[in-house]
Structure 1
Amino acid sequence: MRTIVAIAGLVLALAGCTVDSVGRPSPALEIGPGIEPIPGSITYGGQPRTRLTKSPIGSVVSHQFRNEFGQRVEERYILQPDRSLKLVSRRVYREPFWDD
């Protein structure tokens, strides 16, 4: 329950973000139902073969990787009732290098 409240608060806080001239949120934060997986995303190319069977429905799963430009990408997923993962937010950091 706390997770859902935290996500709702995050969504409300991010609703006030500015949008650049192309229509993307600044500074490179994407959130909403239209986010598409990119190479490196857990759900890129479809749902993973293994399912999270022990995690409670509504759990938040975080994933970090580097995109094709070497930028750090953080994504958040929510575990759905059918045990699939729904991509709900993505943040791309503009610096080209980062520490693991």
Structure 2
Amino acid sequence: MIQIIAAAVTAVLVASCTAVSGSYSSQGYAPIPGSITYGGQPRTKLARSPIGSSFPHTFTDQTGREVEEIYIIQPDRTLLIVQRHYRPFLAWSRN
């Protein structure tokens, strides 16, 4: 019985690992003001960047919060926002 449970847990873990490391099938996050893709895809197609590579972009949103987005270059050379993080606003850290 324990072996069956261990096998099932292992199968779930392996399936989740391959799902995360594979391609992103969703539409990603919706662009917000400050995103590279806000208002459409950039005109340049990032021709020299490898497909599937990722890069960060940090900006300040309309409320003054610092935002970091992670983009992945798709096979058609468009950008997909796959992660968005809001950094904490620390009033005492600003001059």
TM-score normalised by the chain length of structure 1: 0.62
Which of residues 38, 56, 72 in structure 1 aligns to 2:32?
38
- The structure number with the bigger radius of gyration is 2
Q: Does residue 49 of structure 2 align to residue 60 of structure 1? A: no
Which of residues 53, 64, 69 in structure 2 aligns to 1:75?
69
* Percentage of identical aligned residues: 51
Alpha-carbon distance between aligned partners in 1 of 2:31 and 2:88, rounded to the nearest angstrom: 18
| CA displacement, residues 69-97 of structure 1 (integer Å, 9 cap, x when unaligned) | 11110000100010000110100113156
More helix by share: 2
Alpha-carbon distance between aligned partners in 2 of 1:92 and 1:33, rounded to the nearest angstrom: 20
Aligned residue in 2 for 1:51: 45
Q: Any gaps of 5 or more consecutive residues in structure 1?
A: 9-31
Q: Could you tell which deviates more after superposition, 85-94 or 38-47?
A: 85-94
Contact 1:69 1:96 in 2 (8 A): no
Name the count of aligned residue pairs: 71
User: Moved runs in structure 1, 4+ residues, more than 4 A?
Assistant: 96-99
Q: Any gaps of 5 or more consecutive residues in structure 2?
A: 1-17
Question: Match for 1:43: what amino acid?
Answer: T
- Tell me how far 1:62 sits from its aligned partner: 0.8
Aligned residue in 1 for 2:86: 92
